[in-house]
Chains A and B, each alone.
Chain A
């Protein structure tokens, strides 16, 4: 099956800093999503981005499908950005997602 690797596993930032999270996947996909799990455990969908670039406020994501990676950019980080960021992919037409292990982000005030 498809393997999903995220890096870095852990990241500590000062408030206001920018960061880039990476997701590599081992095979072609037609579905890629980024999620944020906040410290209370809630999973929030950030982007559905199987290819191309999207932006939503301070967050943006780029997927280069031909090279099998996706990047999540966080600009001007805030303490509320803390939590775990997951990348998840699927190659079929059922939405059966395979998740990476996540990047744990801590933003310090």
Chain B
């Protein structure tokens, strides 16, 4: 299994507070992705990174920002959390544009 960890695994926060989720990999893969999974919507791409300091938007990027200062870490920040951002967040990595490997997920509840 690819070495991917996500932290925290569970988080409860209040509307309006900032939240940062971390994805850490030990595979030295170039590409990293953040997805959210919601009932009725499947998985949707939020942001992705194709290298250190190189990031781009996915299909549901509003309200989210990302940073990648090191190959192994990809951070997802909710600047001011809203209830609509309650979801399960998955990080994925890929050495090429091909096979993606997913982390265990983070369950976020925004009250």
Contact = CB atoms under 8 A, between A and B. Distances in A.
Interface of A: 1, 31, 33, 35, 41-45, 48, 86, 88, 90, 92-102
A99 B98 contact: no
A42 B94 contact: no
Contacts of A102: 42
Given A31-B97, A41-B105, A45-B100, A94 B48 contact: yes
A69 B90 CA distance: 26
B99 A33 contact: yes
Contacts, number: 58
B79 interface: no
A100 B102 CA distance: 16
A96 B88 contact: no
B5 to A, nearest CB: 13
Given A94-B48, A95-B94, A96-B48, A43 B102 contact: yes
B18 interface: no
Contacts of B40: 101
Contacts of B100: 33, 45, 95, 97
Given A86-B43, A96-B45, A96-B58, A42 B99 contact: no
A22 B6 CA distance: 31
Interface string B29-46: 001010000001011110
9 contacts: A42-B102, A43-B105, A45-B100, A45-B102, A95-B33, A96-B58, A97-B45, A101-B40, A101-B42
Contacts of B27: none
Interface in B25-81: 31, 33, 40, 42-45, 48, 50, 56, 58-59
